Chain A
């Protein structure tokens, strides 16, 4: 008898172990409709408003500032949180469940969620290939938007399927970025530099002047290939223009093209001449900011997202100029790379598509992006934003470049994820002289 009880206990333990984690929701049978019985899961992740129940929009967020790490602003003071709260207020019965996902992990989480179609209603992702690779799971927004709404966003092509002009829009951008050379005005004055360089040759001349004044010209961080990618992107736009750059993705413009070779070789010309810090290959672009603002190096290559980090410390001593053109006679020498940094999309399997689209329009509205700029310093992608809200002179300069409408996307946003990762990995080796530009081009070509 005792043995039977023991076996019963053991059997129930086995059964409960097997059942644990197998399914997390119960099925609810809805009333019959049209003679067919329908069932619907009531799992908390995606639930629909049925018979007056609360509707939950699940929002996986990256790219929005939901908390201030410096502690200066409380979470409820940040624009993102305020606008989400306001959206809920304006839509009684709707709850937005925000999950601030880790930047590194969101792709794996989203891939896994897509397999089971148990993912979020709304997802924020980095723009470019990072969004495009999920195009089969992202709702085409064209039918939910007017012509005017579609034209409201700078760089919207990067948010379209395969980045084609006539592609369907699968995301709306939160912000737009530029690549900049930031400089220390005091060092430039000390070296007697009065004119900012507009060509790479001019930049090298500036480096010589700084070196002669015993000032380290550059503080560069390229451990993840960031600076290489940004500068060579600018050089490619200078040579091929904004339309042809998209061909890098399909390799109609191959990695072996002369323009790319020239871009890489020109960039490599900055190194090996004592113009930069010695640890450029192991220092990240983000970490280089800290050393630049403390006075190491007269110039730093970074993006407009760094303005918020640099300006509070350097104040009026901070200046910026465009990454110089590869050469004065390049056909698109006055063009820059400017593209959305992060964007937001609706999933195809969302049960609340219309509500989700309304939400993403709200979170990319001119009002929101203007206020978000005050929290983050990010340049707004919505061109309806009142520009007077941008008071930081460095941000004003960068935004004025965007407004010139002579901008294209970076080639790393259109090539495959694998090729981009290989570029980021091998770039520091190339500028260290251990890999030739030809070898890098060959490597990328074999992957893409």
Chain B
């Protein structure tokens, strides 16, 4: 065999060896991912698919499960409490998402300037994130209770007319819940923003400063565009939060009351499924929640893509 032919043969063997190695790596990868994937499918995907089925039945959580078609959905849309609950979720969405996005962003921007004591503030702002939701909820419930510190302060300041029963009405309890969520979660969001900001080339900031840009101009025209993707991601997360992370706060702070004034969809699902034992109805509510979150996120990503 000539040298060239030998080299060609060697080259082909090398390519084949490379392909075999890649194939082996792929098989190894699948093999080691398989257990986790199976667990995910069995304990997450399968129950999710089952919910779609059970939403079409009158399942009571036990042995009784007869197919009833769309009756659960019809009953849900006939129930005025459902629309009250949906309205509450929308209030939290419209109030909460801007607060949970912008507030930590402002804090992150200030800390990014490395003001005196910024390391201390970074730690302190993260502290509420490590507290359990039950503790946060109980704290805010106590603070805003009729005889709590907030009302005591207002009374001492001569503002008795403002010392109201904050958690007794939906129009005040929902903003308090948004506040509680913000207090508990803004520390993590600050860290995420700071991490994104630190990835911006410092040279751009220096150039802007040399051009005479002040802090506000640098923030708006350099920092913000630089972390746009992270802000969008945070908005998506907060939208999901508004629909799927409110349960514990509502349970601890208001129990969804009075009536349904502060009940959110998650809590409504809990009431129907676990208090009333109507798992079929609760499953239908869960499907509606799932569709709602998907639609909102889809809209949000479409708007984001359009802007790009």
B6-14, B181-189, B252-260 - interface stretch: B252-260
- Is residue B106 contacting chain A, with contact meaning CB distance below 8 A? no
A271 to chain B, nearest CB (A): 13
- Is residue A365 contacting chain B, with contact meaning CB distance below 8 A? no
- Is residue A18 contacting chain B, with contact meaning CB distance below 8 A? yes
Chain A 113-135 interface mask (CB, 8 Å, partner B; 1/0): 01100000000000000000100
Q: Which residues of A sit under 8 angstroms from B35, Cβ to Cβ?
A: 13-14, 17
Closest to B259 in A: A429
- Is residue A432 contacting chain B, with contact meaning CB distance below 8 A? yes
**A6-B31, A418-B278 in contact; A14/B38 too (CB < 8 A)?**
yes
**A279-B147, A279-B165 in contact; A429/B275 too (CB < 8 A)?**
no
B274 adjacent to A108 (CB under 8 Å) = yes
- Is residue B276 contacting chain A, with contact meaning CB distance below 8 A? yes
- Is residue A428 contacting chain B, with contact meaning CB distance below 8 A? yes
Residue among B24, B38, B255 making CB contact with A223, cutoff 8 Å: B255
Taking CB atoms and an 8 Å cut-off, the chain A residues in 251-286 that contact chain B are: 277-279, 281-283
Chain A 220-248 interface mask (CB, 8 Å, partner B; 1/0): 00011000000000000000000000000
B165 adjacent to A417 (CB under 8 Å) = no
A434 adjacent to B259 (CB under 8 Å) = yes
A278 adjacent to B258 (CB under 8 Å) = no
B32 adjacent to A10 (CB under 8 Å) = yes
- Is residue A81 contacting chain B, with contact meaning CB distance below 8 A? no
Q: Which residues of B sit under 8 angstroms from A429, Cβ to Cβ?
A: 257-259, 261
B255 adjacent to A7 (CB under 8 Å) = no
How far, in whole Å, are A278 and B168 apart by their CA atoms in the complex? 10
Q: Which residues of B sit under 8 angstroms from A418, Cβ to Cβ?
A: 275-278
Chain A 412-428 interface mask (CB, 8 Å, partner B; 1/0): 00000110010001101
B254 adjacent to A10 (CB under 8 Å) = no
- Is residue B28 contacting chain A, with contact meaning CB distance below 8 A? yes
Residue among A3, A115, A425 making CB contact with B62, cutoff 8 Å: A115
How far, in whole Å, are A428 and B165 apart by their CA atoms in the complex? 13
- Is residue B271 contacting chain A, with contact meaning CB distance below 8 A? yes
**A6-B31, A111-B62, A115-B62 in contact; A223/B257 too (CB < 8 A)?**
yes
How far, in whole Å, are A108 and B273 apart by their CA atoms in the complex? 10
Q: Which residues of B sit under 8 angstroms from A133, Cβ to Cβ?
A: 277
Chain A 10-21 interface mask (CB, 8 Å, partner B; 1/0): 110110011000
B146 adjacent to A17 (CB under 8 Å) = no
Q: Which residues of B sit under 8 angstroms from A108, Cβ to Cβ?
A: 61, 274
B23 to chain A, nearest CB (A): 10
Q: Which residues of B sit under 8 angstroms from A10, Cβ to Cβ?
A: 28, 31-32, 34
Closest to B164 in A: A278
- Is residue B154 contacting chain A, with contact meaning CB distance below 8 A? no
Residue among B38, B145, B257, B276 making CB contact with A417, cutoff 8 Å: B276
A130 to chain B, nearest CB (A): 11
**A278-B146, A281-B257 in contact; A17/B276 too (CB < 8 A)?**
no
A426 to chain B, nearest CB (A): 5
How far, in whole Å, are A3 and B168 apart by their CA atoms in the complex? 66
Closest to B163 in A: A278
B34 adjacent to A14 (CB under 8 Å) = yes
Q: Which residues of B sit under 8 angstroms from A114, Cβ to Cβ?
A: 62-63
Q: Which residues of A sit under 8 angstroms from B44, Cβ to Cβ?
A: none
B258 adjacent to A281 (CB under 8 Å) = yes
19 A-B residue pairs with CB within 8 Å: A10-B34, A11-B31, A13-B34, A13-B35, A14-B38, A17-B38, A17-B39, A111-B277, A112-B61, A114-B62, A133-B277, A223-B255, A277-B146, A279-B145, A282-B145, A282-B168, A283-B146, A421-B271, A429-B257
